Amino acid sequence: MEKNGIDIRVMEKATQWLAPEFDQETRLQVQRMIDQDPETLVEAFYRNLEFGTGGMRGIMGPGTNRMNIYVIGMATQGLSNYVKRNFPGRTDLKIAIAYDSRNQSRLFAETTAKVVSANGIHAYLFDNIRPTPELSFSIRLLGCQSGVVVTASHNPKEYNGYKVYWEDGGQVIAPHDVDIIKEVEKIRSIKEVRFDGKPSLIHAIGAEVDEAYLSCLSSLSLNPEINRKYHDLKIVYTPIHGSGVTMVPNILKRFGFTNIIHVPEQDIPDGNFPTVVSPNPEEKAALNLAIKKAEETGSELVMASDPDADRVGIAIRNHDGSFMLLNGNQTGSLLVYYLLKNWSDKGKLKGNEFIVRTVVTTPLFNKIANDFGVKTYEVLTGFKYIADIIREKEGKEVFIGGGEESYGFMTGSFVRDKDAISSCALIAEIAAWAKDQDMTLLDLLESIYVKYGYYREHLISIVRKGKSGIEQIDAMMERFRSQPPESLGGSDVVMINDFLKSKSYDLISHLRYDINLPKSNVLQFVTQNGSIISARPSGTEPKIKFYFSVRQKIANLEELAEAEAAMDLRIKGLAAGMHLND
C-alpha cells in the first residue's frame, strides 16, 4: 500500500521521526526527505539497520536504516540489557569504548558511553581515537564484560559502524551474538533508551592503556638484534588519516627502527579522507602518496593501515626497483613463514602450536605450517572465529598467528582481533631479517613459492547498493545453489562446500559430509585441478565477493613468470565460468 508513491510503512516510520524525542536538525532532514526526496526517504526507512552478528555498519544520516545517535542508542540499550542479564547481581560491570577518525565517531562513542552509564554500567571511554585492536586488548586489561568500537573500518567516508566485543576481547560469537540481536530487537521505541548518562560512571582512559598495549606487542619481536643492526631501514608509513597515526610509528621505534618516513598530509586524522577516494589499503590508489614518498626517499618498504588500524597493505621493491603491492595472502604468507621459521630455529616449537586461516585465505598457510609440524585450524571469514579458536585452545595449545586474505593478521594472544600495529612491526622485522640474508622481501616470497608451490589468488567484488542490490545478491547466491556449475575453467567441479547448509558434496563419490563450522552464506567450488572458487556476500558492505585460488608447482625462479601468466589465464577462465566477465 502506498501514499504519494511511497510505501505506507516507510511513511509511518519516517513520520515517527518527526516527534519531539528527536532533535530539531533530524526532524528537519526527515521532513525534507518526505517533501522533496522520496527515493532517499525509502532508503533511509525501508528497514531497520541490521544489527548483525558483529554489530552494525551503514551510511550516516537520519533514518532507521542509517547510522545516527538514535540507532546507536537503541543498539546500546539492547547491549546494556544483555550484559546485565548475563552477569546478574554484579555491581561492577564494565564496557570499554573506542572510536576512530571517522566523522561523528566521537559523538557516537559518547552516546554509547552515556547509555551504558545510564544503565548502571561503568563506561571506559578512550580519550581520543584509538586502533580497534587496542580496544580488544583493553577489554581484558581492564576486566570488562564487553566492548564497543565505533568504526566502519575501510568503508567510504559516508559510512560508520558499531562493533561489539565480549569479555575475552574477541568480537561476539554464538550464543552471545544472536542473543544480543534479540535484545536489540526488543527495543521498539527511542523512548525505551536511557540517554541520561551518569558522569560518575564514565571513565576516560588513554596513556596507561597505550603503554600496556605497546609493551605487550614489543615482546613479539623475534630478532631484536637484527632490528638494531638495520635500524636505519627506510620505511614509509601512512595511517591514511586514521587511528594508526601514533601507535604504528611508536611500535616501530620500540622494535628498533629509527628511520620512519611519514606522509605529512595523511598524518592528519580526518573522516573525510581528503587525499584518497577510499581509505582502503587493499586498493592501490590509497597507497599512491606513500609510494611517491618512498620513491623520493629511496625507501625499501611502504606500509599503510586503514582508519581503525586493523588492516595493513604493503608495497615492496620489485626486481627492477619499482614498487609492487602485495595482496593479503602474500603478506600473510610472509608472516606465517617468518614466524614458524624463527620459532623453529629458536627451539620454541614444542608440538602443540597452531595457526589459523579463514576458508577463503590461501592454502599456502597450510603448506608452510605442515612443513614445520604446526597445526592449521580453518574457520569462517572473520577474526571473531580466530579469537574463538584461541579462547577454546587456551592453556592447551599455543597460538602463533592467524590471518585472512583481506589484509588482516594477528600474532600472539594479547589482542583477539586483527592488528595492523603488531603486523607493521613484524613486517618491518621480516624486511630486516631478509636483508640480513642478502634478500629482499620479494626474494623471500619467491623462495617460499619455489619451496611450497606458487599460489596465486584473485578477488572480484561486485557492488550492488540499496534495497534492490540486496535482492540481486540474494538471487545470485540462490542461482549458484540451485544451478551450480558443472565445470569451471575447463576442469570439472568435484566438490561443493555449502557453509550455509553445513554440507560438503563430493560430486565424484556422491557422498555428503558435515561441515563443523557455524552457518554462513558462503559457497565454495573445488575443481579437479585444485582450483578453489568461493562466493560470499559481504557482511559489512553492499557487495558480493568471489575469491579465486590456483596453484602450480615450480622447480626454480626461472619458471615464475611463465607460471604467473598461466595462472592468470586460469583465473580468467574460472571467472568466465562463473559468468563474472559478462
Active site amino acids: 153
Strand 487-488, strand 454-463: pairing:
unpaired
Q: Please give the Cα distance from 150 to 108 (Å, whole number).
A: 7
Nearest to 421 by CA among 342, 305, 314: 305
Rounded Cα gap, residues 32 and 135, in angstroms: 38
The answer to whether residues 45 and 18 touch, using CB atoms and an 8 Å cutoff, is: no
336 within 8 A of 455, measured Cβ to Cβ: no
Our measurement of the distance from residue 229's CA atom to the centroid of its chain's CA atoms, rounded to an integer in Å, reads 33
**Spatial contact of 41 and 14, defined as CB atoms under 8 Å apart:** yes
Residue 220 one-letter amino acid: L
Residues 6+ apart with CB under 8 A from 57: 67, 152, 153, 155, 159, 160, 161, 162, 540, 541
Q: Taking a C-beta distance cutoff of 8 angstroms, is the pair 434, 301 a contact?
A: no
The amino acid at residue 147 is: G
Phi and psi at residue 546, to the nearest 5°: -120, 120
Alpha-carbon gap, residue 357 to 333, rounded angstroms = 11
